[in-house]
Structure 1
């Protein structure tokens, strides 16, 4: 919670006799700015310290004897972990976490530098998988969001490196990441961790499909499997965090299809999967998704599947149908935001509607309109729509806060 927001809103509560002045002061005392600042500084300091030490060691690595190199890596790692545990026991949780994270980064850097030192040849990313697995263990041990995100970044970067360097997808790395970090996000029900896991999962799916040189539409099968899993979340905020990245990927694909397709069906052969297997898989996922939505009484959210409608298999009208689907989806998100009185969905739907409008405008006018006039009219249209939607959103939210009927 923002202290500035609390200070501003709290004064209004006092004026409206919702809380007394004494209660207002006591509430403010629970949210001291310096506590948050002190909590962030150790983490930033550990990152800078780690980068500084690693850059210094890397610059002078060849001049340091091998035994000293090993001792240096071990000493820094042990000191970081020991220091982290010591400060944590003394009540300095953030500083202890920062040192533990530094030890984790040192552990990974030590794996890489040791391999270079002894000229070890790697044929896969097992070393990075070990590094990421250590991060998972630390995450469960300390229940740290920061170390969770570090581990997730290690697995994602390692998978990308494996695809580019070794031209292969690490099934072991993906399985450990999905089981360890996915289960942790599921149990903790943290919105940030769930969203970041969803993003990493979608990137893994993209890397997998590209690495296997499959038709691109197959990308949406594992992605929508993750979306379907989100329908079985009882906590809708966490479930929506899991589903937002798959929906964003589907929306982006629709936008690219509208803007980049030149109405030649043969151009889509490179991305269209076998219709029988693909559509059958999509129908199964749709049925499971509907079951989850029905169980959690969210059946109206089935309209989100409009982005996955298989328009690519039609003989004509593909770009128009995708454009209509984008408009329908953006209006649906806006409607759900107003219905649920959820500010995030209202703002997100507003952004989607503006983007879709500009996509339609660009698709319809780019080829024949003067480019200067194109940007001028487009800018004016965007500003007018933005003003109108923001005004509508502000009025709606003010009515909700004031308890007025809509």
Structure 2
């Protein structure tokens, strides 16, 4: 809904006067919004396509090009982009070319690392290259004004830090990705820690939204992964040493939560509870035994396993409890989008748990009717009750 329609509705409701409506419209006409995200996206997409075309032309004759010409052309192009960035710097607040040249320069820096490593046969891993690139472009990324540029830098930076750190704790960092659970646990904790840092340090405010996005996305992925793994009786052969970076990050994060001045006691307890349960979820053998009671969409049950001792019952209950704690925190602190997303995930996990418990009965005619009705009712209840539930969480006090 545009501003004109909103102002008309407010006028009809008696919230503003006709004079106020005219003044607001006049102000908006004199100060148009210049941040056209679609223009930035198309310009950056066009730049990326041009870069791919240049790369394809060079790759076709790569073996015939001398190394000194490769390096010379690379540094010459870096120099031209740097001159362009300096030329467009005075117009960085309103111009689109500054962001396009900035992204192009950062991409070319990453390509230059690969080129130098290829020419001089420098050994190393891809995550080391990402981490080195993030370090040398960190100051440059501070001048970015577009969200895409900052998100791009944060994404590669997090990948470089996470995998480089996990590799330090693994003497035999294999291609089988056995350390994946440790990386999935470490990522949201690191993103949350850096998010708090970006909120408190003024120079890093521009990274806060990107870090918060990666915190929520990586947390959902980590929770979904461990839920599936635990429900299937997996994750019993992982070394505790792999989780050491996550434990260190969790300890620092817990201290930050306790010292957060804007959080009430309730919010501190909710976040610490969710953090502790997530760490417990990933512990190799503290809570889960590998025993299952139900077979997903199957007909057989393991009768010798009690209801509360089955991993495929404990896992979803632990997932629901973690989501519930974070949903209450999000609602209590006014994060409406996060609250709606998490409450939706709670309802979705309930539906999956129903299919797990029902097994083959859910695939019968009556079972499908009941399942469809359950999904419709849960969706309706969530849509109708989410505002009241959010108001309830806002009213909670310590």
TM above 0.5, one fold?
Answer: yes
The CA RMSD measured in Å over matched residues stands at: 4.5
Shift of 1:222: 4.5
Which has the larger share of helix? 1
Label 1:217 to 1:78 Cα distance change in 2 as closer, same or farther (>3 A): closer
Distance 1:127 1:278 in 2: 20
Closer, same or farther: CA 83–361 of 1 in aligned 2, 3 Å: same
Alignment of 1:64-103 (within 5 A): 64-89=65-90, 93-103=95-105
> How far apart, in 2, do the equivalents of 1:248 and 1:226 lie?
14
Provide the rounded CA distance (Å) in 2 between the counterparts of 1:328 and 1:252: 13
2:133: which partner in 1? 131
Unaligned runs of 5+ in 2: 201-207, 290-308, 393-398
Aligned counterpart, 2:315: 322
Distance 1:106 1:289, change over 3 A: closer
Match of 2:63 in 1: 62
Larger relative contact order, structure 1 or 2 (CA cutoff 8 Å, min sep 6) = 2
1:69-100 per-position Cα deviation (integer Å, ceiling 9, x unaligned): 34432332222221222133356632022113
Q: Is the 8 A contact 1:84 1:99 kept in 2?
A: yes
**Change over 3 Å in CA distance of 1:221–1:335 after alignment to 2:** closer
- Cα distance, 1:360 vs. partner? 0.8
Work out whether 1:358 is the aligned partner of 2:355: no
2:10 maps to 1:13: yes
TM-score, scaled relative to structure 2: 0.67
The CA distance in 2 between the partners of 1:90 and 1:227, in whole Å, is 32
**Measured at CA, do residues 103 and 373 of structure 1 come closer, stay the same or move farther in structure 2, by a change above 3 Å?**
farther
State the match for 1:180 in structure 2. none
When residues 11 and 93 of structure 1 are mapped into structure 2, their CA distance, relative to the original with a 3 A threshold, is same
- The match for 2:273 among 285, 296, 303 is 303
Residues matched between the structures, number:
346
Q: Relative to structure 1, is the Cα distance of residues 99 and 295 closer, same or farther in structure 2, using a 3 angstrom cutoff?
A: closer
Give the gaps of 5 or more residues in structure 1: 160-173, 175-200, 262-266, 400-406
Relative to structure 1, the CA distance from residue 252 to residue 272 in structure 2 (aligned partners, 3 Å threshold; closer, same or farther) is farther
Alpha-carbon distance in structure 1 between the residues aligned to 2:247 and 2:34: 54
What SS does the corresponding residue of 1:93 show, helix, strand or coil? Answer: coil
For the residues of structure 2 that align with 1:231 and 1:65, how far apart are their CA atoms? Answer: 45
Structure-2 separation of matches of 1:242 and 1:128: 17
- How far has the Cα of 1:254 moved from its partner? 4.4
